[in-house]
Structure 1
Amino acid sequence: MGQPLNIGIIGVGAISGQYLAAFERLDAVRLTAVADLDEARAKEVADAHGARALTVDGLLADPDVDLVLNLTIPAAHADIALKAIAAGKDVYGEKPLAADLGDAKAVLDAAREAGVRVGCAPDTVLGTGIQTARKAVDDGLIGTPVAATASMLCPGHERWHPNPDFYYVPGGGPLLDMGPYYVTALVTLLGPVASVVGAASHTRDTRVIGSGPRAGETIPVSVDTHVTGVLRHESGALSTLVMSFDSVATRASNIEIHGETGSLIVPDPNHFDGDVQLHALGGAWETLPPSAGYRDAGRGYGVADLAATPPGEPFRASGDLAYHVLETMTALLEAAHSGTAVTVESTCDRPAPVPLQDAPGAD
C-alpha cells in the first residue's frame, strides 16, 4: 500500500507495550511520536523506540502523525478521539469505543463529517483462534448455529494491576472491560445482536489494591461486578454471557458454539491464537489445525489491517463494529436494571474473514 501509516500514541501505560512490540515487526505502520501525562514515561518510551516525545496537544497538531492510537483510560477515550478527528487524523482506540453510547455516537458522527477513519480494539478476533472457529462455522462444520456460551470469571483486576481504579467506575467493570473481547468474538462468529435480557449484581462497595506502590489502598466500586445475560442474534442464535469480577476460578470453556450437527470450543478471545476443538454429531472431540487468521498476531494488528485497507473500503476492527458491541453491552446493563428485554438499535456487518496469512505488511 505504499508508505507506512505514521502512528502517534497517546497514553503509554501497561497496554502500550504490546502495541509497541507488534509495531516493531510490522512495516505497514511506523511509530513517530508518543505522549502521556507522565512526560518522563513518554520520553523513556520514545527514546526506546526511536520516536519523539510530545505533549498531547503537540501530538494532535503534528502533521507527521496520520493516525492517533488512543490508549488512554476509558473515561478519556471520546475526548481524545474527538480532538484527533478535529485535527483531521484517523483514530484507533483501545476498547471500549467510549465510556457511554452517546459519546461513542458523537465520535462516529464527527469522523463521518471529517472524512477520517475510526478503528477500535479488540483486534484479537483477527488471529488464528477466532478466525479458525469462524471458518468452521462458515464451512458448515456444526450445521446451523443454535446457541453459544461465553464466560469470563475472575476475582478482579485489583489483585494484579497497580492502578485499578478505572476498572470500577463507569466505562469499566467486567462487562465494559472484558466484555468487548467476548461480544466482539460472538458477533464475528454469529453476526450482530438484535436484543438482550440480563441480570447484574454489585457485591462490594470497595476493593483493595493487591500490588505495586499502592498495595493495601482501598478504592471505591461504583459499577456492577457480576453481569449475566442472553443475547439474541439477528440470525436467531442465542448466546449466554457471564462476566464477573466476583469469582475465584472457573474451569469452563471461554466460548462454546453449538449447532445442529456439531459443537465448537473456541479459545480465549483475549488472545490471538489457541486451539479450536470440534465435536461432530456422533463423533469425538478433535483439534482443528489453524485454517484462517493472522499468524503469530498481537495487539496492533488491527491498526496494520486498517493501514493496509484502501481509503473508503471497510476494514475489520472498525468503529461501527465497536459501536454495536458497546450498544449491546449497555443494553445488557439496561436490561439487568429494568428486568425487561431491550432491543439493540444498531447493527453491523460481520467483518470480512481473514484468510490464513502473515500480518499485512509484516517483514
Structure 2
Amino acid sequence: MGEPLNILNIGIVGCGNIIAQYLGTLPSLETLRLVAVADLDLARAEAVAADLPGVRALSVQELMDDDEVQLVLNLTIPAAHAQIALQAIAAGKHVYGEKPLAATADEAAEVLAAAAAAGVMVGCAPDTVLGTGTQTARRAIDDGLIGRPISATATMMTPGHERWHPNPDFYYVPGGGPLLDMGPYYVSSLVTLLGPVKSVIGAASHTRDSRTIGTGPRAGEQIPVSTDTHVSGVLIHESGALSTLVMSFDAVATQANNIEIHGDSGSLIVPDPNRFDGDVKLRRLDGGASGDEWETLPVSGGYVDGSRGIGLHDLAATAAGTEPRAGGALAFHALEVMEAVLTSAHAGRLVDIASTCPRPDAVPLTQPAEVRTPMAVSAQG
C-alpha cells in the first residue's frame, strides 16, 4: 500500500443519523483530521460542530470552496451521492462516501470518470470488508486452507425494516429493497474473497403490496411496496467460482450462515459482513487437527477493533495512483452486479457484467495502536 500520505483534512457533508458512527472513529485515526461539517440544514451542522472543538459548521458550498478541506466524506442520502461527489471532485477534493457509490451504475461511472480526470481518489463503504472477520477468511483462502474455491453462499433474511424503522418508505421503492440495501456488504465481501464477477443470473419477487410501520409516530401507517423484496442470484466469478445470493425482506428468520465459502479441500464460515469482526470457522476435508469438527481460526488479518470510518484511514494510507481497498472500483463493480441481478430477474436471462475490478489487496493484521493517535481532530478554529 505504500507510505501513508500526510494527514488529510476531512469535511463531512450530511449530518444525519449515520454521522455518529463515523464520529466515534475519526478522532482517533492518525491519518485524518476533521475540520468541517455541512448539511442542507445548517442548524444540524452547527449542532454537530458544537460538540467538536475546532470543527467548523459550513454550508455545503462553503465546504466545497474551503481550501483546508482535502477529502469530502459524503454521508448524504443515496439519491444525492453522485451530485455531492461530483461537486467535491470538481473542487479538487478526494471523496469517500457511504454505500452505494451512487443511486445507479451510470451515475457511479460518471463519478469515477470525473475522479480519474481530476487525479483524485474515490473510496466507498462498506469498509467492514477491512475488518478481522472478512480478512481472516481472506487469509485462509490465500493460504490454501480450503484448496481451490469453487462456490459460496450469502444469505440475509429479515421480515422487513418497517418493524423497527420509523420512516422505512425508502426501503420499498426502486433503489431500495433487500439487495440494494444490504447487498453491498455481501457482494463486496464476496469480491474481496473470490474476485470480480463476470455474469449473473437472478430471480425476484415481492409478497405484499404494502407494509405497516411498526414503531414511532407513524406506527400503524400503511406504506406502498413498489420494488422486489426477495431476491436470489447466482454470481459467476471470473475465477469460475459460483456464489449463490439470497436477500429477503419477506422471510421470518434463518439459521443459515451469513456467508460460507467452499473449496475442494475445505469449507469456511465467514462472519456477518455487516460487522468488522467475528469468528471464522474452517472444516477440512481430511479432518485436520480438530478431527471432523469445525475449528475457529485465529485472527490473522484486518484492522483489529475496526469500526465505521477505518476505510478513510486505509484510503489515506494508500499510495498515490493505487486503488484503495474500499475504493471506487470495488463499489462500482458491486453496484453493477446488483443492478444486473435485478435486470436478469425481470428479463429472465443471464446478464454479463461490463466492469471488473482488481481483487483488493489483503489487509495485514493491524493493531489499533498502529492507526490511532489522540491528536487527529483539528485544534484550529
- TM-score w.r.t. the length of structure 2 is 0.92
- Contact 1:146–1:236 under 8 Å retained in 2: yes
Could you say what secondary structure the match of 1:48 adopts? coil
Report Cα offsets for 1:250-280 as digits up to 9, x if no partner.
1110000011111000000000000000000
Question: Within 2, Cα distance between the matches of 1:42 and 1:206?
Answer: 35
Aligned: 1:351 with 2:360: yes
Could you say what secondary structure the match of 1:313 adopts? coil
Question: Within 2, Cα distance between the matches of 1:103 and 1:353?
Answer: 28
Count of aligned pairs between the two proteins: 363
- Contact 1:74–1:172 under 8 Å retained in 2: no
Question: Mean alpha-carbon deviation: is it higher for 204-213 or for 252-261?
Answer: 204-213
1:312, CA displacement in angstroms? 1.5
Question: Within 1, Cα distance between the matches of 2:52 and 2:169?
Answer: 29
Question: Within 1, Cα distance between the matches of 2:137 and 2:104?
Answer: 30
Question: Within 2, Cα distance between the matches of 1:168 and 1:34?
Answer: 30
Query: Residue 372 of structure 2 aligns with which residue?
Result: 362
1:313, CA displacement in angstroms? 2.1
Q: Quick one: structure 1 residues 6 and 189, their matched pair in 2 at CA, closer, same or farther if it must change by over 3 Å?
A: same
Letter in 1 for 2:324: F
Question: Mean alpha-carbon deviation: is it higher for 186-195 or for 306-315?
Answer: 306-315
Query: Residue 213 of structure 1 aligns with which residue?
Result: 217
Question: Within 1, Cα distance between the matches of 2:36 and 2:312?
Answer: 16
1:202, CA displacement in angstroms? 2.3
1:39, CA displacement in angstroms? 2.7
Query: Residue 257 of structure 2 aligns with which residue?
Result: 253
Query: Residue 202 of structure 2 aligns with which residue?
Result: 198
Could you say which structure has the greater relative contact order, defined with CA pairs below 8 angstroms and 6 or more residues apart?
Answer: 2
Question: Within 2, Cα distance between the matches of 1:191 and 1:82?
Answer: 28
- RMSD between superposed Cα atoms in Å: 1.3
Query: Residue 38 of structure 2 aligns with which residue?
Result: 35
Could you say what secondary structure the match of 1:49 adopts? coil
Letter in 1 for 2:103: A
Question: Within 2, Cα distance between the matches of 1:109 and 1:170?
Answer: 25
Report Cα offsets for 1:92-127 as digits up to 9, x if no partner.
111111111110111111111111111111100000
Question: Within 2, Cα distance between the matches of 1:181 and 1:33?
Answer: 28
Could you say what secondary structure the match of 1:17 adopts? helix
1:230 to 222, 231, 234: 234
Question: Within 2, Cα distance between the matches of 1:123 and 1:156?
Answer: 24
Question: Within 2, Cα distance between the matches of 1:340 and 1:101?
Answer: 20
Could you say what secondary structure the match of 2:111 adopts? helix
Question: Within 1, Cα distance between the matches of 2:5 and 2:281?
Answer: 39
Q: Quick one: structure 1 residues 218 and 35, their matched pair in 2 at CA, closer, same or farther if it must change by over 3 Å?
A: farther
Q: Quick one: structure 1 residues 31 and 217, their matched pair in 2 at CA, closer, same or farther if it must change by over 3 Å?
A: farther
Question: Within 1, Cα distance between the matches of 2:302 and 2:130?
Answer: 6
2:159 to 155, 161, 165: 155
Could you say what secondary structure the match of 2:300 adopts? coil
Letter in 2 for 1:16: I
Letter in 1 for 2:371: G
Query: Residue 144 of structure 2 aligns with which residue?
Result: 140
- Contact 1:324–1:348 under 8 Å retained in 2: yes
1:206, CA displacement in angstroms? 2.4
Could you say what secondary structure the match of 2:282 adopts? strand
Query: Residue 376 of structure 2 aligns with which residue?
Result: none
1:280 to 280, 284, 297: 284
- Contact 2:206–2:250 under 8 Å retained in 1: no
Query: Residue 110 of structure 1 aligns with which residue?
Result: 114
For structure 1, the residue ranges without an aligned partner over 5 or more in a row are none
- TM-score w.r.t. the length of structure 1 is 0.97
Q: Quick one: structure 1 residues 247 and 54, their matched pair in 2 at CA, closer, same or farther if it must change by over 3 Å?
A: same
1:1-363 alignment, distance < 5 Å: 1=4, 3-50=6-53, 51-283=55-287, 284-358=293-367, 361-363=371-373
1:55, CA displacement in angstroms? 1.2
Report Cα offsets for 1:310-347 as digits up to 9, x if no partner.
22122211101111111111110010001100001111
Question: Within 2, Cα distance between the matches of 1:9 and 1:148?
Answer: 36
Q: Quick one: structure 1 residues 59 and 207, their matched pair in 2 at CA, closer, same or farther if it must change by over 3 Å?
A: farther
1:221, CA displacement in angstroms? 2.4
Letter in 2 for 1:203: T
Question: Within 1, Cα distance between the matches of 2:40 and 2:114?
Answer: 25
Question: Within 1, Cα distance between the matches of 2:141 and 2:161?
Answer: 33
Report Cα offsets for 1:25-73 as digits up to 9, x if no partner.
2121111111123332221111112311111111111111111111111
In the TM superposition, structure 1's runs of 4+ consecutive aligned residues that sit over 3 Å from their partners are: none
Could you say what secondary structure the match of 1:24 adopts? helix
Question: Within 1, Cα distance between the matches of 2:39 and 2:166?
Answer: 18
Question: Mean alpha-carbon deviation: is it higher for 93-102 or for 43-52?
Answer: 43-52
Report Cα offsets for 1:194-231 as digits up to 9, x if no partner.
11001001222322322233333333322211100100
